[in-house]
Amino acid sequence: MAGNEALVWIDCEMTGLNPDHEEIIEIFCIITTGTLEVVDEKGLGIVVHQSKERMDMMGEWCTQTHAQSGLTAAVIDSKVTPEQAAEELLSYIKKYIPERKMGLLAGNSVHADRSFLAKEPYKKVVDHLHHRILDVSTIKEAARRWCPRKVTREAPRKQGLHQAKEDILESIEEARYYKEVLFDKKSDRA
């Protein structure tokens, strides 16, 4: 069990940024304790099927980025439906956080992921989680505005791969940095 301070780190890759018209095509989830200790190193990665026709409708940025990473081909080859992906994700979360409204969704700009997960068939995942989120991007923006420059200058740099697993691992690393620098009482780095 992850405890009652658990964080549910999720990164989704989508066909675009509009949740009313675009689709989730990849999900990666890792559960940590509230102190950012990873509960399951393996995590859960899911590539969600979409047809070639649907993938061909993506905008230029998504088309280029997902083709270069190999995600487009993996999505077309995948046999996992969105319904199966939602069920698998919820089961994974419940394995470590069985009680509803306990785990907080976490990540970078995670409100965007949440807006996609709030749609069917993923809505049951959001319904299982707490209504609050831990957004590392918000912490970074606050630090950029209100802390000495060295705080953000020394922060881990993101590679910008736009691959769900790598992105969420970078989010956790960045959260650990800000936790140490800004929130741990013993730190003298800020």
Bridge-based pairing of strands 44-47 and 24-32 is antiparallel
128 as an active site residue: the answer is: no
- The residues that are catalytic are 162
